[in-house]
Amino acid sequence: MGYAERFSLEGRIGLVTGAASGLGLSISQVLAEAGAHVVLTDVDGAALERARAAVKESGGSAEAHVLDVSDRGALRAAADEVAARHGSLDIMVANAGITAGPGYLTDAGQINAVDDTQWDRVLGINLTGVFASIQAAAKHMKRQRSGRILAVASVAGLKSEVMCGYAYTATKAAVVNLVRQAAMELAPYDVMVNGIAPGPFRTNIAGGRIRQPEVEAQFASMVPLGRIADPEEIKGLALLLSSHASSFITGVTIPIDGGIMAK
């Protein structure tokens, strides 16, 4: 098998949650660029349609479905519908996630100030949404005896992170272990389950707060490479873990963080 064939996704069907912008959009783009038909999902219908158009304008094959990953029934139904209509579900990218507010360096982020409603909402999207995405994909991938599942965690799930709220760090750490557990169950079916742990990327999370110059500078000061990343920089790792090139990689969460975890 040649280099190009190892990374080709020709004929594959992928589903990406949180695909309307940021990392989800970049991952959707690279899957489509490699030949997959990509189903983009998000709660923001208008942004989702713009994302679908952007993927198609670059020559990719894509469709869009409005979906709230905290609605487990809707998520499972969407995966079932995609698999039934296209004949398979080959790639699931559980990317959708939200912020939990500031870290404990501010009064609002300290543990005694954590709001119950916010905690439950973050768990519903960042953890239960990822679990339901893996569960929905596993149903079809077990039957196919093949597949790739990617879960987007965070370096905040691998180490303490003063800039991130409690619910965010807790859910991202849980995703890391969820990846391990699911990988062990699905390995006999030739289904690879892996995580991606981004450091600071220039995305719309927290209302795009990281784009503010003072906030970006604060995050960049923590990164050995001295900068935060552009969403385009997620594409190489996402393609690797979605393709045959990762045929002996499962159960790991790989940091893509400019060196943060090496410190």
Q: Which residues are catalytic?
A: 168
Neighbours of 41 (CB within 10 A): 30
What's the first-to-final CA gap in the chain, in angstroms? Answer: 37
Q: How far apart are CA 82 and CA 57, in angstroms?
A: 22
Q: Which amino acid is at 113?
A: A
Q: Are 36 and 89 in contact (CB under 8 A)?
A: no
How many Cα atoms are found within 13 Å in the side-chain-facing hemisphere of 72?
A: 12
How many Cα atoms are found within 13 Å in the side-chain-facing hemisphere of 239?
A: 22
The per-residue b/e assignment along 93-129, b for 16 or more CB within 10 angstroms, e otherwise, is: bbbbbbbbbbbbeeeebeeeebeeebbeebbbbbbbb
Residue entry with tokens 């006999």: 188
